[in-house]
Amino acid sequence: MNRLRDQYDALLLDLDGTLYRGPDVIVGAPEALAPDGDSAQRLVYVTNNASRGPGAVAHHLDGLGYPATADDVVTSAQAAARMLSERLSPGDRVLVVGTDDLAAEVKAVGLEPIRRFDDTPPAAVVQGHSPTTAWPDLAEAAYALRSGALWIAANADRTLPNERGLAPGNGSMVAALATASDREPLVAGKPFAPLMEDAIERAGTRRSLVVGDRLDTDIEGANGLGLDSLLVLTGVSTLDEALGAPTSRIPTYIAATLDALNDAAPVEAAAPADIAELLRQYPGRAVRVRAADSEIR
C-alpha cells in the first residue's frame, strides 16, 4: 500500500495537541507512529514548549509509548539559545524568564543565565513558558528591556492545550511584557524559522513532513520553509478554521488523526467545500488540500 508517510524521509512531529494533551496521550497516536518493518522515516519531535529539556521530553514521550531519545527532540529553548549565541559574546549575561531547563540551554552555549540584576543590565532577555512565571519575573525583564537588552522569546503561542482546555501559553506572557516595555521580541519557535531549521538539520533531510495541530505555528512554519504539512484535528485548530485560513496557513493535508499517516495515499479535494465531506467518507485517510511543495517546485 502506498502510505502517506512513505512519501517522506522524516516526520517533524509537534507534541502538545498532536501526541498528547496535558498529561493524557491522544488515543491511537502511539500506535500510529509505532515502528514496523515498512517504516523508514526518522521521527523528530519538535516542540515550541521551552519548559523542559530534550531528555525530559524524551522520557515523557517514551512513557506514553512513543519511541524517543534526547537526540530525537528539538525544543524552542535550544533554538533560542542558539540565536543568543549567534548575537552575543561568550560569558554575556542573559536574564531568563522561564524554567531552569531554559537556563541550562543558555549556559550550554557559553552564556551566563541570571534571574535578577542590580546596576548593570544583562545583554539579553530570553523568555520561555513556565507555569510559575510571576509579576516580579516580568518586571525584572521589563527593566532590562527598557535598558536596551536584546529580547528573544522561545515561542509566541497564545494558548497551551491541556486536559482541561486551552491555558495561557508563553505568547500571553510575551504580550504582557511587550505592553510593559514597548518592545517586540525575536521569536525562535514556530512559525518562525529558527526552530524548524534546527529540526531539518536534526532530521538530515528536507524531504520531511511537518505534522501538527495548529495552523498558526505548525502549518505556517512549514509553509514558510517550503515543507509539506499535515494538520491533525486533535488539538487547537478546527476544520472550520482550516477552511477559512489565509494562504500562509493552508496545510498540504488535513486528517482527523495520526492514523492517516499509515493509510492509503490521500484523497484529493477538488474544492475547499469538498474537504469536510471527504473526511466523513474516508475517516482514516488524509485529504489533500493543495499541491505538495515538492510538486510546486
d(CA 62, CA 245): 34
**Could you say which of 6, 9, 14, 38 is catalytic?**
14
Is 6 part of the annotated catalytic residue set?
Answer: no
The pLDDT tens digits of the residues spanning 191-211 come to 999 999 999 999 999 999 999
3-state secondary structure (DSSP) of residue 209? strand
Grid coordinates standing for 212? 501538527
The pLDDT tens digits of the residues spanning 149-164 come to 999 999 999 988 777 8
Grid coordinates standing for 240? 472550520
Give the global pTM: 0.92
**Could you say which of 16, 72, 213, 228 is catalytic?**
16
The pLDDT tens digits of the residues spanning 19-75 come to 998 788 999 999 999 987 666 799 999 999 999 999 999 999 999 999 999 999 999
d(CA 67, CA 49): 19
List helix spans (H) across 2-157: 29-33, 54-64, 76-87, 100-108, 135-146
Is 16 part of the annotated catalytic residue set?
Answer: yes
